[in-house]
Chain A
Amino acid sequence: MSEQSNAITMDGPESLWYGHKGNLYAMLILGVVAIGSVWALSLDTRWIYLLVYVWFGVGYGVLLQYGRFCMASAVRDLFAVGVPRMAVGMLIAVVLFSLTAAIVKVMGVNTFHPHPIGWHVIIGGAIFGFGIVFTGGCASGSLYKSGEGNLGALLVVLSISFSQAIYVTLGGWFDRLVPASWTESAATKGMPEELTVTEGWFDQFTAGYIWDLKGTTLAESLEFEGEVAGAFVGNAFLGAILPSLVLLVYLYMFAYRKGYLRRYKIEMPKLGDHLRGIWSMVSSSRNTAIAGLGLGLLAGLHMWATGALRDHYQIFNFGELLADMGHTAGLSLQDTVFDPGYWYITTQEAQWGAWVMEKAGMMSRDNIFFGLENGIPNPIINAPGWMSIGIIFGAAVIALSRREFKWKVPNLETAMFALIGGALMGLGARLAMGCNIGAFFATVTNGDLSGWVFLAGMTLGGYLGVKGFSRWMEWRAGKDEFDI
């Protein structure tokens, strides 16, 4: 009567580790990344800045696959099957990352910038949350599942990439959807003429709406005196740990308690029973909890490493290093590229799509997103892009070594869901200025409450997505032997 999911292996006696092909392929991938890193450093030691992204990406990929860590299922499974397992893992990661982020903040190398709060966060979160139900994974989830050989997940990544690149450059008819006040406000921002900020809905959304909003952290808005109190009490405890603990108790009360008390035949539960129940909920999926702890730690270390390198090279953005090394083609008007300095997924994927479209002559840089802020660097020198590829590599390494790697070709239904769901995720991510990592995980852990607003939107979208997906499944299953 095992509640654990440890599987009994039926594939013959265990052989030595090097006797298994999966381990050899895993070593090969790690070897290629290692040799590539040494080669890059031999060309110019400043590539260390890019390599930090690569190796943290590999680390994220290993942990995500190890814990089957999927933030999509954190909200989806609650509504679909009433199981809080992944939501618990996510909250553990939030608690730990908030502490490591606070330490990095006190050290003065925190790379985080707060996001503005507005309706766009909840609407974008809802569209993103709706999309992830149909794709079967969030933005990071699609990357690590690609590393497991799931080509449907790779299709989601491609859809997110190209859809975002298209959204931020759409003009013409779409400009009619933009309120006149945004256009007027955008026109007053004094942007360079080549950006044509009053054309293109996303430019007007950015310059005429987003830039008029203010982002802040809890430590700033509560005016904490002293860096340590602000980082640990304001941002970490009040902004992340307390809300996470409240959510954990809520999850126990509404998703876990009933099943737990029934399973252990507890009829008159006392406080001790509930506390044991909460512990049972937290520890029920060991791998997910371990991954949550590891991801929280790694995300904080990542901020520290990038922050320290920026200090070392006296730069604010990787674009400055690229310019020094003579790679100016992909830089924005300000000589910058996208360089968050922490775990982020969607913007670099938009750059991949834009780069391909630019090569095909279908992309111009007369927009704020690429032209002014993020640039369109060659994917070979796109540092955060390498973090995403690192996630695929890391997930492939551990999937191969656990014999879980398998090429999976999507059927037409899965492929359509991947493309449409991915396009919805792309739209949601652009409206909310990030996915569940950039707009939720990295924000709430740094005292920026806009992340909780994104989670609320993602939860709403996830709920509607589950309803829609269940109807689709019912229709598809309507003719089987379980027809009602």
Chain B
Amino acid sequence: MAAIRDKWMVQWQFQKDWHPASEEEPGVMWWFGKRKRPQSSGLSRTDRSLELPGIGMVRLQVQIDCLGAVCPRPQLLTMRALDHMQEGEILELLVDNPGSSEAIPAMCMTLGSTHLTTVRDDQGWRIYVRKGEPGTG
């Protein structure tokens, strides 16, 4: 039981680390958080560079945190982000639901976007998607 409890604790800590908004405003991920605090969807703007394996240096404009979430939330948030992004902008989606890790690349063609790569680590999958067809970015 101790091992399971420790794993849960790691998971909670992990969620906290990946929910910057909820760290600043504890409780906003819950329904009955204080009213004046904004709801957080896990979508946020960013502006940072990173090296993607097999792709090289890219600049990231949007990140979506879907840790702990199941379908269809990652799909809907990705669509929402792409709707508001410029051609060529890149988003990073963080998921730990195995089903979502394959659903997102599969939807890129329909959305006219490009799946750049998926990086897997101990936390889950980081999926990189660029708005626009391949070769247009």
Contact = CB atoms under 8 A, between A and B. Distances in A.
Contact of B102 (A68, A470, A474, A484): A68
Contacts of B26: none
Given A412-B31, A480-B40, A263 B133 contact: yes
B119 interface: yes
A481 B46 CA distance: 10
Interface string B34-48: 000011110111000
Contact of B121 (A1, A11, A81, A262): A11
Interface in A467-483: 469-470, 473-482
Contacts of A83: 75, 103, 106-107, 110
A81 B111 contact: yes
Contacts of B71: 70, 72-73, 76-77, 136-137
B59 to A, nearest CB: 17
Interface string B115-127: 1111111101100
Contact of B80 (A284, A402, A482): A482
Given A5-B101, A259-B109, A477 B43 contact: yes
B80 to A, nearest CB: 6
Given A10-B119, A406-B96, A477 B39 contact: yes
Contacts of A65: 98
Given A259-B112, A477-B43, A7 B98 contact: no
Interface string B1-14: 00010011001100
A223 interface: no
B72 A81 contact: yes
A74 to B, nearest CB: 11
A479 B39 contact: yes
B115 A408 contact: no
B72 A413 contact: no
A137 B4 CA distance: 24
Interface string B84-113: 100000000000111101111111111110
B75 A80 contact: yes
A8 interface: yes
Nearest to A287: B102
Given A68-B102, A416-B31, A480 B70 contact: no
A447 B112 CA distance: 39
A378 B32 CA distance: 39
Interface stretch (A144-152, A205-213, A357-365): A144-152
B53 A412 contact: no
Given A284-B106, A285-B102, A412 B68 contact: no
A473 B76 contact: yes
B32 A412 contact: yes
Interface in B47-76: 53-54, 68-73, 75-76
A82 B111 CA distance: 9
Contact of A80 (B43, B72, B125): B72
B114 A1 contact: yes
A266 to B, nearest CB: 13
Contacts of A153: 70
A58 B133 CA distance: 41
Nearest to B37: A479
B39 A476 contact: yes
A136 B100 CA distance: 11
A414 interface: yes
A379 to B, nearest CB: 22
Interface string A1-21: 111111111110000000000
Given A150-B97, A259-B112, A409-B8, 6 more contacts: A4-B105, A83-B75, A136-B71, A473-B76, A476-B39, A482-B43
Interface of B: 4, 7-8, 11-12, 29-32, 38-41, 43-45, 53-54, 68-73, 75-77, 79-81, 84, 96-99, 101-112, 114-122, 124-125, 133-135
13 contacts: A1-B115, A4-B105, A73-B103, A76-B72, A77-B71, A77-B103, A82-B110, A263-B109, A285-B102, A407-B4, A408-B68, A473-B73, A482-B81
